[in-house]
Amino acid sequence: MSDLFKNILAPASILAGTIIGAGVFSLPFVFKEVGLATSFFYLAFFCLIFICVYLFYADIIVRTPGEHRFIGYAEMYFGRFGFWSSILIALFQLLLVMAIFLILAPSFLKLIFNGGEFLYPFVFWLISSIAIMFNIRRLAVLEFLIVSGVLAIMAVIFFLGIGNFLHSPISWGIVDISKFLAVGPILFALAGILTLPEFISYFREANIPLSFIRKSLFIGATAPAIAYGAFVLGVLGLSGSVSEDAVSGLIGNAPSYYLALLGILGYLSLTSSYIMVGMNVRKMFNYDLHFPKLLSMVLVIFSPISLYLFGFKNFIGSVSFVGSVFLPLEIIFIIFMWINANKKLVNPPIFVGRLLKMLIPVLLVIFFAVLLGVVY
């Protein structure tokens, strides 16, 4: 295994593989509804913001001794208030995210198979649940292959649709940051915060110097945003009527073999994200809540399918809710967590320099504004 792949690309694919999931398929519909100029502005802006937030959280993880996840860090630096708040902000959020993956899975499986759509969420759930018990090093190469395939198919969509897009009547419009409809889905599509402990665990398990984390993190965070932009333009060019899941609208507008390939790779991308999120949830139950390993496994396997069966099936609404409410709260929580951790920890910051410290008030204003915008 080459040093470039082992030290940078493999861990970057863990982060990118988690980020590229259900959220990307809401973007073509949202971009068309809100306006391309505004949506692309938000996409680039929040990509940079997420990189800053990742560095804050990575700094907490690396400097804090022991094995923890979001709930454990929150309890250490905020006490019992942090413990109970983080259960709502992090644990419940991730279970909702896993349920969202179940909502979207049938859109891909119906591109591959005929009939039996009722069973598709359960097939996806069963196969993905089995893989949750694997360790992170075993999944790194698989994540790299899946991410490479997904990025390749997004590039194919871009080249198939960009010609039509350039001659389409779709207008870019002007940037209007008051259009908050795009914020929730874009935040959801770019988010990979709570999987960062798995990203850091790869470096620890493989004995890779922490100096490689910045480069790997930057690649893992920016590659999805670039791919999203290409995917949106391609889908808008291929299909005049864009469906909420971006996939159904391609039926009849692309060759059958291509749709089958898209179905396979889209299904795999959801599977990789589901596995990484599920692994994080399992370790939250085990490390932070101190549940037995067997109970942790049972809870992470059956909670998402239970939410789905109880009626959690609205894709765009679910994505917007998680992205507009849970993610801003989570980011605000992480920033204050870092402030508290920095006061208590003896060792100096590793990934947070003077510039990032100066940006703390700006980041807080941005995400408080997002929450107020959602309320408005």
Q: Which of 222, 203, 206, 209 is nearest to 54 (CA)?
A: 222
Which pLDDT band, with edges at 50, 70 and 90, does 220 fall under?
Answer: very high
pLDDT digits (tens, 9 = 90+) for 28-47: 888 988 889 999 999 999 99
**Predicted confidence (pLDDT) at residue 349 exceeds the cutoff of 70:** yes
The residue count of the chain comes to 376
pLDDT digits (tens, 9 = 90+) for 123-140: 889 888 887 776 666 666
Instruction: Give, in degrees to the nearest 5, the angle at Cα 169 between 168 and 175.
Output: 110
The DSSP result for 225-262, as a single string, is: HHHHHHHHHHHHHH-SS--TTSSGGGTTTS-HHHHHHH
For residues 270 and 357, what is the distance between their CA atoms, to the nearest angstrom? 35
Q: Which of 195, 184, 218 is nearest to 329 (CA)?
A: 184
pLDDT digits (tens, 9 = 90+) for 290-307: 899 889 999 999 999 998
Domain ranges across the chain: 3-375
For residues 220 and 226, what is the distance between their CA atoms, to the nearest angstrom? 11
Quick one: pLDDT at residue 37?
A: 92
Task: Evaluate whether 108 touches 123 at the Cβ level (below 8 Å).
Answer: no
Class of domain 3-375 (CATH, top level): mainly alpha
Name residue 107's amino acid: S
At 358, list the tokens.
């100066």
Which pLDDT band, with edges at 50, 70 and 90, does 116 fall under?
Answer: low
pTM score: 0.84
Q: Distances from the Cα of 273 to the Cαs of 13, 106, 245, 257, 326, in angstroms?
A: 11, 16, 17, 25, 18
Mean pLDDT, all residues of the chain: 84
For residues 257 and 107, what is the distance between their CA atoms, to the nearest angstrom? 16
At 251, list the tokens.
């039926």
Task: Evaluate whether 186 touches 43 at the Cβ level (below 8 Å).
Answer: yes
At 222, list the tokens.
């920016």
Q: SS3 of 175, please?
A: coil
Q: Which of 331, 339, 304 is nearest to 52 (CA)?
A: 331
Task: Evaluate whether 235 touches 246 at the Cβ level (below 8 Å).
Answer: yes
Name residue 302's amino acid: F
How many C-beta atoms surround the C-beta of residue 134 within 10 A?
Answer: 12
pLDDT digits (tens, 9 = 90+) for 150-209: 788 788 888 888 888 888 877 788 888 777 777 888 988 898 887 798 889 888 888 888
Share of the chain above pLDDT 70, in %: 94
How many C-beta atoms surround the C-beta of residue 17 within 10 A?
Answer: 30
For residues 57 and 197, what is the distance between their CA atoms, to the nearest angstrom? 9
At 331, list the tokens.
């980011």
**Predicted confidence (pLDDT) at residue 357 exceeds the cutoff of 90:** yes
Give the mean model confidence (pLDDT) for residues 62-79.
Answer: 88
For residues 74 and 341, what is the distance between their CA atoms, to the nearest angstrom? 10
pLDDT digits (tens, 9 = 90+) for 306-320: 988 887 777 777 777
For residues 166 and 236, what is the distance between their CA atoms, to the nearest angstrom? 10
Task: Evaluate whether 46 touches 232 at the Cβ level (below 8 Å).
Answer: no
**Predicted confidence (pLDDT) at residue 265 exceeds the cutoff of 60:** yes
pLDDT digits (tens, 9 = 90+) for 81-113: 888 888 888 888 888 888 888 888 888 888 887
The 3-state DSSP composition of the chain as helix, strand, coil percent (nearest 5) reads 80, 0, 20
For residues 268 and 274, what is the distance between their CA atoms, to the nearest angstrom? 10
Task: Evaluate whether 216 touches 147 at the Cβ level (below 8 Å).
Answer: no
> Which residue blocks in 239-323 are alpha helix, DSSP H?
256-283, 293-309, 315-321
Quick one: pLDDT at residue 361?
A: 94
**Predicted confidence (pLDDT) at residue 68 exceeds the cutoff of 90:** no
Instruction: Give, in degrees to the nearest 5, the angle at Cα 153 between 110 and 222.
Output: 120
Q: Which of 281, 27, 38 is nearest to 154 (CA)?
A: 27
Rg of the chain's alpha carbons, rounded to an integer? 20
Quick one: pLDDT at residue 376?
A: 67
